[in-house]
């Protein structure tokens, strides 16, 4: 799922291309994408884009007459900028927005259609799309600490909860926790003040570094390589590969459709965290540490 650095890269590219431009035509390829019926989508045609901003992991495009397009890309949704009138008839294509200077297309890989588009009238009605998460890059250490301790969860779950923190998902939370040298399953109630300060610094550093990296990668172009798996990442998506800090093999915890990657030596004193499926299968044979493994 595109997270804060990826969404910022999209927003900057969209601002440069859409603001001040009228919407010439909208081509909706699947009715399941649009989650609202009033106002009708056709009302956008002829309206000029005025703003582009971020609500957590959502992109909000404001147009004339106090209308707003809210896009949630979910896991596999991606945006593309193409020459005006570009065809959007492929299996992955969901919608196309034609402008005088080009066409913005929305695609979604795979068969599950999770991406969504909402059309909202009035800025007051945008409130329901704000999950309330803290913007860490704009927050103080005290605000971060208060939000982190407001509920007792694992630190991984807290970082990725949109009600607590804005724009952080599975990929960058892995990178943040590795930088902070914290176990993903440590409870927030057991974090020391020093650990919270370290986590705060790591969160800000990772989000800033990756935003700058993606911005430089696009170099004024449109970000076409938005992915949760990047070779420069330390642990996310690197199961079995050496940790860039200590050289130990990166471990994983799998649950539902998600996977948490971590370094047992850097983040958990060499102890392995139980994988819910595999550790139950192996029972007593499940290794408890890197040395046992």
Give me the CATH number covering residue 102: 3.20.190.10
Helix ranges (H only) for the chain are: 4-18, 141-148, 155-160, 170-180, 193-218, 264-268, 276-282
Q: Is residue 192 situated within a structural domain? A: yes
Q: If you ran DSSP here, which 8-state letter would residue 13 be given? A: H
Beta carbons within 8 Å of 280's beta carbon, 6+ residues apart: none
Left (φ > 0), alpha (ψ -120 to 50) or beta: where does 96 sit? Answer: beta
Same domain flag for 114 and 243: no
Residue 67 CA from chain centroid, whole number: 25
Residue 109 dihedral angles phi and psi, to the nearest 5°: -75, 160
Helix/strand/coil percent split, the chain, to 5: 35, 25, 40
Tell whether 66 is covered by a domain: yes
Do both 271 and 229 map to the same domain? Answer: yes
Considering the domain architecture, whether residues 65 and 100 belong to the same structural domain is answered as: yes
**pTM for the full predicted model:** 0.92
Question: Tell me, what's the pLDDT at 287?
Answer: 52
Is residue 293 assigned to a domain? no
**Same domain for 72 and 143?**
no
Domain boundary, last residue among 96, 129, 162: 129
CATH code of residue 239:
1.10.8.50
The mean pLDDT values, 10 residues at a time, for the chain of 293 residues are 95 97 95 94 97 97 98 95 86 94 94 92 94 96 97 96 97 98 97 98 98 92 92 96 97 86 96 66 45 52
**Statement to judge: residues 243 and 143 lie in one domain:** yes
Examine residue 213 and state whether it is found in any structural domain, yes or no.
yes
- Domain extent for 191: 136-285
| Coil/strand/helix, residue 179 | helix
Residues 23 and 124 in one domain: yes
Residues 200, 87 within the same domain: no
Q: Would 291 be classed as within a structural domain?
A: no
Report the domain count for the chain. 2
Residue 81 lies in a domain: yes
Same domain, 275 and 174: yes
Backbone angles phi and psi of 59, in degrees to 5:
-110, 125
Supply the pLDDT for residue 93.
92
Q: How far is CA 104 from the centre of its chain?
A: 20
Per-residue pLDDT, 90: 81
The token pair at 213 is: 């990296």
Q: Do 91 and 15 fall into the same domain?
A: yes
Q: Residue 34: inside a domain, yes or no? A: yes
209-243 exposure pattern, b = at least 16 Cβ within 10 A, e = fewer? ebbeebbeebeeebbeebebeeeebbbbbbeeeeb
Among residues 113, 129, 145, which one ends one of the domains? 129
At 281 the pLDDT is 38
Q: For residues 122 and 33, state if they share a domain.
A: yes
Looking at 67, 97, 129, the residue that finishes a domain is 129
Q: Are residues 148 and 115 in the same domain?
A: no
Same domain flag for 164 and 26: no
The answer to the question of residue 205 being in a domain is yes
Rg for the chain, CA atoms, rounded: 21
Quick one: how far is CA 196 from the chain centroid?
22
Give residue 112's pLDDT.
Answer: 82
| Sole residue written with tokens 């705060």 | 200
């Amino acid at each position: 799922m595109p997270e804060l650095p990826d969404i910022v890269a999209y927003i900057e590219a969209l601002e440069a291309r859409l603001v001040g431009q009228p919407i010439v035509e909208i081509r909706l390829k699947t009715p399941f994408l649009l989650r609202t019926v009033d106002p009708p989508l056709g009302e956008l045609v002829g309206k000029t884009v005025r703003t582009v901003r971020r609500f957590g992991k959502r992109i909000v495009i404001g147009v004339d007459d106090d209308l707003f397009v809210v896009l949630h890309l979910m896991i596999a949704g991606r945006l593309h900028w193409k020459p005006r009138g570009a065809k959007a008839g492929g299996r992955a294509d969901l919608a196309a927005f034609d402008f005088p200077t080009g066409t913005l297309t929305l695609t979604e890989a795979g068969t599950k259609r999770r991406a969504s588009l909402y059309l909202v009238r009035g800025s007051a009605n945008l409130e329901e799309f704000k999950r309330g998460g803290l913007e860490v890059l704009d927050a103080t250490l005290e605000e971060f600490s208060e939000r982190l301790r407001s509920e007792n969860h694992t630190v991984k779950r807290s970082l990725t909860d949109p009600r607590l923190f804005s724009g952080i998902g599975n990929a960058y939370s892995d990178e943040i926790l590795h930088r902070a040298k914290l176990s993903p399953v440590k409870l927030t109630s057991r974090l020391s003040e020093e650990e919270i300060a370290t986590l705060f610094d790591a969160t800000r550093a990772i989000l800033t570094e990756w935003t700058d990296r993606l911005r430089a990668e696009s170099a004024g172009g449109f970000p076409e390589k938005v992915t949760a798996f990047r070779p420069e990442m330390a642990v996310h998506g690197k199961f079995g590969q050496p940790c860039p800090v200590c050289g130990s093999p990166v471990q994983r915890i799998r649950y539902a459709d998600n996977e948490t990657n971590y370094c047992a030596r850097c983040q958990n004193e060499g102890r392995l965290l139980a994988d819910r499926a595999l550790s139950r299968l192996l029972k007593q044979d499940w290794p408890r540490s890197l040395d046992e493994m």
